[in-house]
C-alpha cells in the first residue's frame, strides 16, 4: 500500500497511474488500499482541482480563400477563417474561434508591445487558448470598466489579469464600472484623473483584442448577462445600431449610432480605439454577420477571426451594400 501525507500528492499519484500508466481503477485501488469507487472520486477531484487536465487537440482547418477575400474586399490587415465541416452550437464555435484567435494573437504580439483587452466570452476563449510564454516588456491594459459588482470570468479586469499571467506582462487596470446609471455619474468618473489616465494608457496600445456584439436580443451578451435591460437594448436598436465594440454602437454602414447609451459607458473612446494599430475582433455566427461587417466598415476592427459560414455571409452583405451604393 502506498502512503501519502498530502491529499493533493495522492490525487496526483492516482491521476498519473490512471491517465499516464494506463492502470485500471481496481489496480490503483489495490495499491493505495481504497475501493474502486473512491479512486473514481479521486480522479474527479483531481480534474476539478486542476491537478489532472485533459486536453483534446482538434486539428484546426483554415479557409485561405475566404481569408484572402475578406482582406481584399474589406481591407483587413489580418484575417483568419476557421473552416467548419458542420454546424456547431455557439459555445463550441466560440471555443474553436478562441483557438484560432490565440494562434494569430501569439504571432502578432512582439516584445515591448502593449495589448488592450476588452471584455466578452470570445475574448475569454482566446486568452484561455493562448499558450503561456513570456514575452519581454509587454503590458496588458484594460480598455473598459468592470461589469457589475460580481467577478465575471469574461470581465475586462479578469481577462487583463489572465493574459498578463500568460505572457509574463504587466497588468494595468481601469478601476471603474463599465456601465453606469446616468450621464452625471459617467461624466464624474471620466473626469477622475486616475480613470482618465487609465483610459489614455489603453488608447496607446499596439494591439486591441475585442469581441463584436450585436443588438439582436438572443445574441446580445450585455442583455443575456443582465448588464442592460431589454428596454435599454430596444432604445439602442431604435437608433439604427446593429452591433458594438466595447459598447460603442454602430450602424450597418459602420457609422456611430446616435444613442444616449454612449454617455453611460466608461472606457476607450471611438477615436482612441481607432488609433490602435491592430484591432483584432473575434466573432462568429451568421446572426452576427451584419454586426461584424459594420465593425469593419467603421474601423472598429481591422483584423478579424471568424468562421467560413459567417465569412460567406459577410461577403454577401458587403456585395449587397456596394450594389446599393452604385444604384
Judge whether 215 and 250 are in contact, CB under 8 Å.
no
Q: Lowest mean pLDDT: which of 38-42, 153-157, 290-294?
A: 153-157
144 and 219 share one domain: yes
CATH number at residue 162: 3.40.50.1360
Cell (9 digits) for 165: 499571467
CA–CA gap between residue 237 and residue 214 (Å, rounded): 9
Cell (9 digits) for 126: 482566446
43 and 113 share one domain: no
Q: Do the domain assignments include residue 215?
A: yes
CA–CA gap between residue 80 and residue 292 (Å, rounded): 14
Q: Do the domain assignments include residue 25?
A: yes
Q: Do the domain assignments include residue 55?
A: no
13 and 80 share one domain: no
- Structure pTM? 0.82
Cell (9 digits) for 267: 472606457
145 and 260 share one domain: yes
22 and 160 share one domain: no
Judge whether 173 and 117 are in contact, CB under 8 Å.
no
pLDDT at residue 1 tops 90: no
Cell (9 digits) for 3: 502512503
Q: Do the domain assignments include residue 1?
A: no
**Contacts with 7 (C-beta within 8 Å, 6 or more apart), sequence order:** none
What is the H or E stretch that residue 307 is in? strand 303-307
231 and 297 share one domain: yes
In this prediction, residue 322 has a pLDDT band, given cuts at 50, 70 and 90, of: confident
Write the CA distances from 322 to 54, 73, 327, integer angstroms: 47, 10, 9
128 and 35 share one domain: no
Write the CA distances from 321 to 182, 200, 254, 293, 305, integer angstroms: 36, 35, 12, 10, 21
147 and 254 share one domain: yes
Q: Do the domain assignments include residue 39?
A: yes
Q: Do the domain assignments include residue 2?
A: no
Q: Do the domain assignments include residue 173?
A: yes
CA–CA gap between residue 2 and residue 324 (Å, rounded): 75
Give the chain's mean pLDDT: 93
Q: What is the DSSP letter of 137?
A: T
Cell (9 digits) for 66: 475566404
In this prediction, residue 88 has a pLDDT band, given cuts at 50, 70 and 90, of: confident
pLDDT digits (tens, 9 = 90+) for 46-64: 998 889 987 766 678 999 9
What is the H or E stretch that residue 4 is in? none
Helix, strand and coil in the chain, % to nearest 5: 50, 15, 35
DSSP per position, 116-136: EE--SHHHHHHHHHSPP---T
Q: What is the pLDDT of residue 22?
A: 87
pLDDT digits (tens, 9 = 90+) for 198-218: 999 999 999 999 999 999 999
84 and 13 share one domain: no
38 and 112 share one domain: no
CATH number at residue 27: 1.10.10
What is the extent of the structural domain holding 200?
64-326
206 and 315 share one domain: yes
Q: What is the dihedral of CA 33, 38, 42, 48, to 10 degrees?
A: -170
pLDDT digits (tens, 9 = 90+) for 109-168: 999 999 999 999 999 999 999 999 999 999 999 999 998 655 678 899 999 999 999 999
**Contacts with 192 (C-beta within 8 Å, 6 or more apart), sequence order:** 176
Q: Do the domain assignments include residue 44?
A: yes
Total of domains in the chain: 2
Spatial CA neighbour of 108 closest among 291, 277, 315? 277
21 and 71 share one domain: no
Amino acid at each position: 500500500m502506498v502512503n501519502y501525507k498530502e491529499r493533493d500528492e495522492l490525487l496526483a499519484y492516482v491521476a498519473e497511474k490512471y491517465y499516464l500508466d494506463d492502470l485500471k481503477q481496481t489496480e490503483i485501488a489495490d495499491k493505495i488500499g481504497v475501493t474502486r469507487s473512491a479512486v473514481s472520486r479521486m480522479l474527479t477531484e483531481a480534474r476539478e482541482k486542476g491537478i489532472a487536465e485533459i486536453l483534446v487537440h482538434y486539428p484546426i482547418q483554415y479557409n485561405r480563400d475566404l481569408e484572402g477575400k475578406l482582406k481584399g474586399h474589406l481591407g483587413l490587415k489580418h484575417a483568419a477563417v476557421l473552416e467548419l465541416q458542420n454546424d456547431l452550437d455557439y459555445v463550441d464555435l466560440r471555443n474553436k474561434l478562441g483557438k484560432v484567435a490565440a494562434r494569430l494573437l501569439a504571432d502578432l504580439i512582439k516584445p515591448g508591445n502593449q495589448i488592450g483587452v476588452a471584455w466578452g466570452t470570445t475574448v475569454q476563449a482566446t486568452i484561455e487558448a493562448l499558450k503561456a510564454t513570456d514575452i519581454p516588456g509587454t503590458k496588458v491594459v484594460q480598455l473598459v470598466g468592470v461589469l457589475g459588482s460580481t467577478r465575471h470570468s469574461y470581465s475586462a479586469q479578469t481577462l487583463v489579469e489572465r493574459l498578463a499571467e500568460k505572457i509574463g506582462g504587466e497588468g494595468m487596470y481601469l478601476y471603474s464600472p463599465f456601465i453606469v446609471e446616468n450621464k452625471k455619474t459617467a461624466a464624474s468618473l471620466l473626469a477622475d484623473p486616475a480613470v482618465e489616465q487609465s483610459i489614455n494608457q489603453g488608447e496607446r496600445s499596439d494591439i486591441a483584442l475585442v469581441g463584436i456584439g450585436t443588438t439582436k436580443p438572443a445574441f446580445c451578451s450585455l442583455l443575456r448577462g443582465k448588464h442592460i435591460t431589454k428596454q435599454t437594448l430596444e432604445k439602442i436598436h431604435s437608433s439604427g445600431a446593429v452591433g458594438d465594440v466595447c459598447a460603442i454602437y454602430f450602424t450597418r454602414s459602420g457609422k456611430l449610432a446616435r444613442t444616449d447609451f454612449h454617455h453611460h459607458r466608461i472606457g476607450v473612446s471611438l477615436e482612441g480605439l481607432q488609433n490602435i494599430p491592430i484591432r483584432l475582433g473575434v466573432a462568429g455566427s451568421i446572426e452576427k454577420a451584419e454586426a461584424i461587417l459594420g465593425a469593419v466598415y467603421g474601423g472598429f476592427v481591422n483584423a478579424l477571426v471568424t468562421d467560413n459560414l459567417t465569412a460567406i455571409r459577410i461577403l454577401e452583405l458587403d456585395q449587397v451594400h456596394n450594389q446599393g451604393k452604385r444604384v
